[in-house]
Each structure stands twice: as structure tokens, then as C-alpha cells.
Amino acid sequence: MLKDAKRTEFVEARRSPRIRLQVPVFIRGTDTAGSEFIELTKTLNISATGACITSGHLLRRDQTLYLTIPAPSPSSPSMVPSETPPLVAKVLRQDSSGDTRLYGLEFLRPLD
């Protein structure tokens, strides 16, 4: 019962509700080895203040990442998709599910 009480307190502490939504995103940052990377991944859930993503890279808590969402451009016949302006986020937590690394991110500026 205590576990349920802690979970309830945690859920109520959220600043905005989460939506279970898989959105493809490019993440750009530097891994724990100091190597810069760009990776196409996806969100598992998203809110106005953050997201949960998967990544094959080892990331540090509090590190900054830049997320862009690929968006097809109807006016451009190019095979390279356009992107949204980058969202800046920091890593709040890390978890794993089997071989998959999950990261909880907080947007430095909430989505409108």
C-alpha cells in the first residue's frame, strides 16, 4: 500500500499530463565517451514539459540534448525531410528495459 501512495504522490507532482505517443525524433548530443552523435529514435511518451525516449547511446544525467522532429515538406520533392526547430532538453533520469535504454527528458522551455 505504501508503494501505491508513493506512486500517487509522484503522479500528482507532474507539471503536465503525459500522452503515450511515439514520435520519431532526431537527438543530437555528446555521449559519456565525449563523442558527438545524431540518432534517429522515438518518444515513448511526451508532455508539454518533457518526454521519454529510447537511445542506443550512454547519456549523463543533467546533460543537454537537442531534439528535432522530422517533418515532410510538401513543397520540396527532396528525399531529405525538413525538421522542426530544435527542442532543448536535459536528461533527468535513466532506466532500461532489456537491451533498450530509456531516458526521461525535461524540456528547458515547455511546449506551447
User: Does residue 21 sit within a domain?
Assistant: yes
Mean pLDDT of 62-74: 86
Q: Which residues are registered as beta bridge partners of 60? A: none
Helix (H) or strand (E) holding 88: strand 87-97
- Cell 537491451 -> residue: 99
Amino acid 74: pLDDT: 63
Amino acid 14: pLDDT: 64
Mean pLDDT of 59-78: 82
Amino acid 84: pLDDT: 74
Residue 7: is its pLDDT beyond 80? no
What amino acid occupies position 56?
G
**Domain span at 49:** 17-107
pLDDT digit string, tens, across residues 74-90: 665 555 556 678 999 99
- Cell 506512486 -> residue: 7
Taking the CA atoms of 6, 9, 13 and 18 in sequence, report the sign of the dihedral they define.
positive
Amino acid 9: pLDDT: 44
Q: What's the mean pLDDT when you consider all of the chain? A: 84
The number of distinct structural domains making up the chain is 1
**Proportion of the chain in helix, strand, coil states, percent, rounded to 5:** 10, 45, 45
CATH code: domain of residue 100: 2.40.10.220
User: Does residue 10 sit within a domain?
Assistant: no
